Structure 1
Amino acid sequence: MAASHRHDLAQLNGTPRRRLYTGADLARARTIEDLRARAHRKMPRFVLEYLEAGAGEETTLERERDALAEWRFLPRTLTDESERDVHGTLLGTRAAMPLAVAPTGLNGIFRRHGDLALAEGAARAGVPFVQSTMSNDRMEDVARVPNLRHWWQLYVFGGEEVWQSLVDRADAAGCEALVLTTNAQLFGRREWYARTRATKTRPSLATLANAARHPQWTLRTFSHGMPAFVNVRDHVPKDRRGFFDSAFWIREHMPKALSWDMVAKIRDRWKRPFLLKGLLHPDDVRLALDAGVDGVILGSHGGRQAESSVSALDVIAPARAIVGDRIALYMSGGIRRGSDILKALALGADAVLAGRAPLYGLCAGGADGVHRALEILRDEMRNELGQIGAPSLAHLGREMLVRTDSLPLPSEAAQPAG
């Protein structure tokens, strides 16, 4: 079942005319879609394909949104809605909401020092930021962002000295948690993004021509040259440190036999909270629990890896049954609304990670745009809690949701109790 956005139900023959806000006044952005629309206005095509594209026919990308659309709230009424507390707890520490900014690589292509901007926006919003191994700002520089809860995402590539160096640097930088991505040792076929290149390392003429029509983006992003993978550059051969060459060299040297033995080695070296990201099979969740990690992040890598896979939301209930309250259970994928977060929590997640939503904010307005994206999600959560009659996040549960394929409700649901 495809997700449906029937905006036309409120229109007659195209009136009133409706447009998303794409202007520079971030306070006028009412939804994540407004920020997304501004990002599409400002960014060249190849950047948007990198940001938006999924693997293959993008069926997993579609599933992430469809899975959320398949659930409907059963609102309660005449409840106390005066507080609507949306604070969450991540790894035992209070956060402004149960959300972390997901790790995303190559953020320097959206804006120079994009990782610093994401970190600043997250810190202002009171949520953690997970910095990627493939980021374009040094982890030590990001670690100096005031009031930041800094997590480090780890890719394993090259010799063992590489991941050991990154883990030790993350420890020295004071990172709160380490997040090992498990489902990207072999990159998915991102066909639409690949079509923006003439060769493996050279953009097509059409791509260059389109980028030339965005001079402000070019000036803001490439005024000091192409972004570099500064956290791993020293581990790449000197003759492969160019922008494209380094990215493909790292991909080529990711071990295709990454295993639970490596998880055990990392667990032994890293003494702070350790999470595994990219799990979707309940058996892997069970193995993660046995491996002694502190949490798992269900997710499909934003629909950019396996094609036609389930979404994280589809797996929350069985994963919760496996882990109980012994480790943290997070999910990532498709978060665009505060109501999406509430659905994930009601189904059993402790928190969510959001990737594209804060990136739309980054494209729209740097650190201020990231903060605005997170502010929008938090405001929507508070409003929606009141709409469904839940005084706080603690009152959310599976009983507040019904799947669309279970509608209409059976008549026995209306029988009086007792």
Structure 2
Amino acid sequence: MRIVLTGAGGFLGWHTRLRLAALTDHEVLPVTRENWSQLGEIVAGADAVIHVAGVNRAETDDDVELGNSRLGDDLASAISAAGKPLRVVMSGTIQVDRDNAYGRGKRAAQTTIASATTAAGGHFVDVCLPNLFGEHGRPHYNSFVATFVHSTISGQTPQINDNPVELLHVQAAAQSLLEALDTSEVRLRPEGTPTRVSEVWDILQELHRSYVPLGEFPDLGSAFRIDLFNTYRAGLFPEHYPIALTPHSDSRGSFVETVRCRGGEGQSSFSTTVPGITRGDHYHLVKIERFAVIQGQARISLRKMFHDEVLDFDVTGDRPVAIDMPVGWVHNITNTGSDILLTQFWSHELFRPEAPDTFPEPVSPTSLGAQR
């Protein structure tokens, strides 16, 4: 299908586009602020729409409410003008049942979009989402978790209201949006993890105490902790890397600890690479992966999906360091020396051939074809 994705440059939009690229063959037509004026033309050439564009916060409550309702009006007009049945999926919110600006704006948009969709003979699905968190959220905008991550890294202590909260990782939200493309239902309600605001802060402090001063992986014994750790790691990248590893040397040679983990699964492997050869060129949706060069010289390169900038780290076994790959970033390693390169790899989970969480994509933008 040709799928219009509104808000493709935002938090939920980027993650939804990432999951579509990894798990489907759909052609994605991204709509952002830059090409919003072309919405009608883009929708006219599509088979389906995933609407995640929205206004979370603004200077006034009126700006939040009207901003969301106007986005809905624009999309409804485009659907009506297309004059054909479309599958339309909207990222809704549990806030629609509450009398606040965000809830009122999203409720108005939902009503308008649903009416236009059904009038044209299409099928509308509301994906009602709880509070979202995940990699690359904006502090003080997308989620209190993003604010807590920023505060943790910068050494600040925010005001903490110890309220109960239901948290859903943004990739799980994206999966629900994908499932809505095929369902006969008109409403999906994915469930998150019930927790408390103070508990999230306490876990982030625990992660930080292990990871930053020691370079060790914390307890990764639950999916929620893995998601929080990946969210936290994204806030550290790239400034925190590479992580220096300490050789313990004597007359016999050197001993270097490359990985320390306090809990959960884990798997280590190593590779040899001849000069000039590149390994990798893929990305992950969940996997935590560490590269450590043991012998030789290498360049580790990364690029955030749907962006062009490439980050390079030149590393050598003579000064051992570790680089941990953020999810959603394409990465590879190239032997830039004249001898065999020896690299150790560690991931937080055992390799499962039926679900490898590895999706091919070149790091170099010059190697890219048309993006889906």
Bigger strand fraction:
2
* TM-score scaled by length of structure 1: 0.26
State the structure with more CA Rg: 2
Structure scoring higher RCO (CA < 8 A, sep ≥ 6) equals: 1
TM-score after normalising by structure 2 = 0.29
